[in-house]
A and B are shown apart, each in its own frame.
Chain A
Amino acid sequence: MSWLKKQQLVTLLCLCVAITGCKGSMELNELHIVHSVAIDLGKDGGVRVTAEIAKLSTGGQQPKGMQESTFYLTSEGSSLFEAARLMRTKSDRTLLWGHTTAIIFSTDLARGGIGKQIDDIRRLRQFRNSTLMYAMEGKAYEALKVSMPNLSISSQALRGLSEGGESTALTEQTTLIEVYQELINGYKDISIPSVEVVKDQVDKKLKLLQTKGLYAFKGDRLVGLMHSPETKGYLRAAAQMSGSIEAVACDAKHKITFENINNRSELDVAFNKKLTPIVNIEIYADLDLVSVQCDDVKVDPGTIVNWEKEINNGITEDIDRYIRFSQKHKVDLLGIGEMIHRKHPKQWRKMKKNWDDIYSGAKFNVKAHGRIDHTNFTL
């Protein structure tokens, strides 16, 4: 290669760097970091987006990190994208959506379907797959304004609350990618955790966020709220539960409490002659005794067997409640339809069209095999 050619090549390479580079760069103090987004119904069928942005305080000795207070920007548009772009007119900096940890839909909007919104969010590309999804009765932006005692950034509070679901089985973590996958694949119907604003029972002025129960969706439309027993029953049957509390009455007022430490479920589908699906759900749960509120309770193998029976009844009751709920609303959260599809493709072809009705007529046999492992001390 001649010297001239080499020079030209080097110049070209340098130009490449100079021309293509630098453009995408964005200094951190030219950005607003969006932490959570609330999506409500706007006027005339539009969308109203509220973003929670952390205030960055200057001049302090130490950076506050996640302890910073927040402010809110709201804008409306005919679509989520338009609303988000119009928000820039009120914002002095570029909005960085990539760090959004929680998206809250209002139930009003969700009843009309969240499919388009999820689609828009996916198209924006900035959002992380692990963004958590919530639904809230009333105005979704109200949830953002609640400031938890130690955290003013509500996305962090919500994440913490959802993690609590592992020990209570009253809520779960549902991410953007999970919702999107289920919407696209259609293997099963989706559920999104509910979030509500409650008052503290002692300090009445203190508002708190609470995540309890799941909203069930038929396709992309919200159809109903599963309360605590249904949620527990659903999570148990779907084998998504890791810890929960079960109680057995020992006299009129008192209870014996057990902690669920392990849960496994086995689902199996068969048919009767009329092609009605018969779903067998077997639950294997391990429990520990944690609290005895009655006097004169003797812990011996005989009583333990009795407790196990009662616990199994309780578990079966929870799951039955969930099944009644799902059959009433015709939502197949467990993915029974997909199980039939995979195991019995021939029958599925016949059932596919009116699956909703078949599902609501399906028979469920629930069998619980709860076992009490530890009483935690010996008498």
Chain B
Amino acid sequence: MDDTKTMLTCNEAENKRLLRELMQNTDDLVMVSSAIDLGQSVTVCYLAGMIDGRQLDQMLLLYKEDKDRLPAFQIDANVHTFEEVANGLASGMSVLLFDTAGYGIALDTLGVQLRSVEEPASEATVKGPRSGFTESLQNNIAMVRYQFASPSLKVEYRMAGQLSKTKMAILSIGGITNPDILQEVHHRIDEIPADAILGSNYIEEWITDNRGTLFPLLETTERPDRVIGALLDGRVAILVQGTPFVLLLPFVFLQAFQVSEDYAWSYYIGSLMRLIRLFSGMIGLLLPAFYVATVTFHHELVPTTLLQSIASAKEPVPFPAVVESFMMMIAFEIMREAGIRMPKQVGQAVSIVGALILGQAAVEAGIVSPIMVIVAALTGICTFTLPPTAINYVIRILQFVMTLLASMLGYVGIMVGIIMLLTYLASLRSFGVPYLGPAAPFNLSELTDVIVRRPLTKNNKRPSLFRVIHNTRFRSKS
């Protein structure tokens, strides 16, 4: 795209012609000429469907009454070049062009029908706020402000995507967020050369610390309460126009096991839920590997009675344990993917096929052993306890790697896998923050609000991990 700018002329017909040309002669460009007062004709331009007609009418009436009043409402309303006019029209503004003046007036009349606020589909809770973000950037910012009515909340607009001109808002809290991190965010966003930003992941892939890693170094959420919680921890949120998913950064690994609902229950329950999530994360990663290693290498480690049961179940199965487990795990992944993609009407068909064919019939036909079905099912269920961040998918990918290692080297293989994984995780950084923090580098007092949940009355320090300026949340009054 060239950045040449053409000034508006004083000739109305010429303006209209050039504007049409610039807008690729698009058919939904509406240009209505009307005489506002004697001697001066005004052309109202807008894109059909993008504007709120009633709002435009009101603005025009105001303008007719008093020509000076309108610009008072609209800061920077005067536009001077065709490019400005075209960009304004594309983002839902109406532009008034005059036949005598060499400028136009842009009116913010955006009125697109969008989804209303609903419960977030991917982060449902039993207890806690039920509102989720929508596709409207303004509305999303308003939702954050509504729950966190503080003047220290800072919103900075940025634009990315040369063609798509996607608006985004960077949220932070003055006096808490580290300015270095904030500056780094701005820097990385300004450097994005992409032509179009169609969702938050478009940003994530550009601004992440390590573009080759499997692990997510930013977090996404649909929940305003989670965004506010993150902001208060000294993190930065990036809201993107057109998507309900908000990016939170920096992100550390152990946060993948936290959900905002932990804070909606008493801290005993919250802590227990967190521990269950951690535990099931480990099961999701390691259970198939442990099963394979045990039945192919370490028969002695199982109690005799259990081994006897496993052996008689495995007796008719023609495949090695590792093949069996891969078959079941792949089948589960296929079913899960089908479950997401398929229309709701055919949902029953998939569940019947899944339960009967892949579960019962496969066992009865002697293709897989019943124990393996239990292992695969438990593993699959366990990964669903984690909040739907990308970690979820990463664990499912890594469980294949772990199983493969276990089938080659037994428990030694699993140990090798875990050591390599931890080493790799320790090497990752998210906006300069160590990915395994606060476990490594170790910080006991901060771990108490990561592994379990600290009582809110004792939670008087913000995590130093995100290098906040002001570390104290509150001082007890006693």
Contacts and interface: CB of A to CB of B under 8 A. Distances in A.
Interface string A38-75: 00000000000000001011110101111010000000
Contacts of A126: 300
A24 interface: yes
A31 B305 contact: no
A297 interface: no
Q: Give the interface size class of chain B.
A: 20 to 34
A28 B311 contact: yes
A17 B310 contact: no
B interface secondary structure, majority: helix
B314 to A, nearest CB: 5
Interface in A59-105: 59, 61, 63-66, 68, 96, 98-99, 101
A24 B413 CA distance: 12
Interface stretch (B103-111, B116-124, B170-178, B402-410): B402-410
Contact of A22 (B295, B308, B408): B408
A66 B308 contact: yes
A58 B295 contact: no
A20 interface: yes
A20 B416 CA distance: 14
B299 A96 contact: yes
Contact of B299 (A35, A63, A98): A98
A86 to B, nearest CB: 22
A169 B410 CA distance: 43
B410 A56 contact: no
Nearest to A24: B297
B408 A99 contact: no
Contact of A54 (B296, B308, B317, B413): B308
Q: Give the interface size class of chain A.
A: 20 to 34
A25 B311 contact: no
A149 interface: no
B310 A98 contact: no
Contact of B313 (A54, A63, A66): A63
Interface string B309-329: 111111111001100000000
B304 A65 contact: no
B300 A128 contact: yes
Nearest to B302: A99
A29 interface: yes
A28 B407 contact: no
A65 B297 contact: no
Contact of A98 (B300, B305, B312, B317): B300
Interface string B388-426: 000000000000000001011110010000000000000
B430 to A, nearest CB: 25
A58, A65, A96 — most chain B CB neighbours (10 Å):
A65
B370 interface: yes
B299 A101 contact: no
B230 interface: no
A302 interface: no
B305 A63 contact: no
Contacts of B314: 27-29
Contacts of B60: none
A58 B317 CA distance: 10
A35 to B, nearest CB: 7
Contact of A29 (B297, B315, B408, B413): B315
A69 to B, nearest CB: 11
A18 interface: yes
Nearest to A61: B364
B102 to A, nearest CB: 61
A59 to B, nearest CB: 7
B90 interface: no
B312 A101 contact: no
Contacts of B312: 56-57, 63-65, 68
B162 to A, nearest CB: 35
A29 to B, nearest CB: 5
Contacts of B232: none
B305 A65 contact: yes
A252 interface: no
B293 to A, nearest CB: 9
Contacts of A21: 408-409, 413
A24 B308 contact: no
Nearest to A32: B311
A35 B304 contact: yes
A68 B310 CA distance: 12
Contacts of A59: 316
A1 interface: no
Contact of B408 (A18, A96, A101): A18
A379 interface: no
A67 to B, nearest CB: 9
A202 B314 CA distance: 40
A27 B410 contact: no
Interface in A105-133: 126, 128
Contact of A20 (B305, B307, B308, B409): B409
Given A24-B410, A99-B304, A29 B296 contact: no
A345 B316 CA distance: 63
A33 interface: yes
Contacts of B366: 58
Contacts of B409: 17, 20-21
Contacts of A4: none
A26 B309 contact: no
Contacts of B320: 27
A56 B311 contact: yes
Contacts of B364: 61
Contacts of A66: 305, 308-309
Contacts of A26: 296-297, 299
A25 B405 CA distance: 12
B448 to A, nearest CB: 38
A28 B300 CA distance: 12
Given A28-B311, A28-B314, 5 more contacts: A21-B408, A35-B304, A58-B315, A65-B305, A68-B312
12 contacts: A24-B297, A27-B295, A28-B295, A28-B307, A33-B304, A33-B308, A57-B315, A58-B315, A58-B366, A63-B370, A65-B312, A66-B308
- Which 7 residue pairs of A and B lie closest in terms of their CB atoms, listed nearest first? A21-B408, A98-B300, A63-B312, A65-B309, A63-B313, A25-B296, A56-B315
